[in-house]
Chains A and B, each alone.
Chain A
Amino acid sequence: MESEDHFDDDFLMRVLRDPAELNRSNRQNHVDLCEICRGRLNLYQSIQSFLKSESDFEVPSGWLERMVRLFDAKGLRRDLKEAESYAWLAFDSLLAGAQGIRSTSAQRHLIWESPEFRVDMMVESANRQNVLLIGQLTAKRRTPASESAGAVVEAKVGDSVFSAELNSIGEFVVSVGRLPQNDPIEVLFRLPDRPLLTLLIPF
């Protein structure tokens, strides 16, 4: 597609207000074929949707102020050992594939990170009735406290909890039965003398 064929901002703004404009102007075909114009239209639609919905997310008066005062309350950060540590999703093969296409592979690769640990996991779903979580928990810094011996991993799927022990190098395999429809799987690592490490597998 030649650059001079791309939609200008005025046209895209008209489409935002009236999507039927695409058909009226016989340019639907162009959107289907041109990744650049489709990308811009998607972006503009996101911006418009964001701006329109922003007033729905106005935090009610007084809530924030109460939470600001929390800071001065004593005891909230008292005991690290009792705290939970959350791992954040750093990689998901479902999102890293070809743009616009959700992977249909029977294996999904995910990586989480927490301040102390990295979790590398494959969700093996070739057998839909018996999905396996296969992975490894590794410490970012090698310390005596980071030893995984004796650690237990638990996967909460709906109301069921499936667990397994980690081996000496942090590897684990958990069989979790069927995958949930929409709920995420919550995975908890119970490590000796460490805060509970929690992560979510989104679906």
Chain B
Amino acid sequence: MSFMSGAKQARLPAEQATDQELVAGCLSGDSMSWELLLRRYERLIYSVPVRYKFDIEERQDIFQTVCCEILKNLHALIDLAKLRTWILTITIRQCNHLVRTKYLQRLQDTVESAHDIKDPNADSFEIYLRSEREQLLREVFAELPERCSRVLRMFFLGSTAPGYQEVGRQLGLSPETIGSLRHRCLKKMGHLLESKGFRKPN
């Protein structure tokens, strides 16, 4: 499926296209599908080397390698429902390779003090779970109506609790409706997360 098959055809917003549609678009040579797919998963890919505490050049190497691996192997991916975990697995694998390479390099560089060198000890399992959880939240926020997304951000961010009056003023709504709007948005978010198999942290 191409999202740019005609000049007059409107572009399909990233949040409306399914992974299946994007992958099919990529495989049929549609570069817009590739761009939308990368935009959907760019933060997931980037978040992993950040969590591994790699420097900016290493993050760039990982990001580039993972994108190449995705592109090289996309044609072999049949269960498209697993695209998210597939990308995450590739990313974590690349990060672990780098951790191992750096560790061995440091061992070689300082043989005499080798006993003092510890493995960076990155908890890849925890990073895997956390990155997957956050990608689901990212996708859900992208799917929520704009008003819900705004009201939830206002309540969850910020050091002080915003009053209904203030939220209502910013959204152009009556303060009396804010409590129930927030409740509906949280409920909607809960349903979306559940439908995506969200695992709450222990």
Contacts and interface: CB of A to CB of B under 8 A. Distances in A.
A184 B125 contact: yes
A10 B93 CA distance: 42
Given A9-B186, A51-B153, A181 B121 contact: yes
Interface residues of B, number: 68
A202 interface: yes
Interface residues of A, number: 64
A17 B159 contact: yes
A64 B104 CA distance: 31
B156 A59 contact: no
A67 B69 CA distance: 11
Nearest to B82: A88
Contacts of B116: none
B31 A68 contact: yes
B34 A203 contact: no
Interface class of chain B by DSSP: helix
Given A70-B67, A76-B71, A86-B89, A50 B137 contact: yes
Contact of B125 (A17, A54, A68, A203): A203
A159 to B, nearest CB: 7
Interface in B162-199: 179, 182-183, 186, 189-190, 193, 199
13 contacts: A17-B159, A44-B156, A45-B201, A51-B153, A57-B50, A63-B64, A76-B72, A83-B72, A86-B89, A116-B78, A182-B121, A184-B92, A184-B125
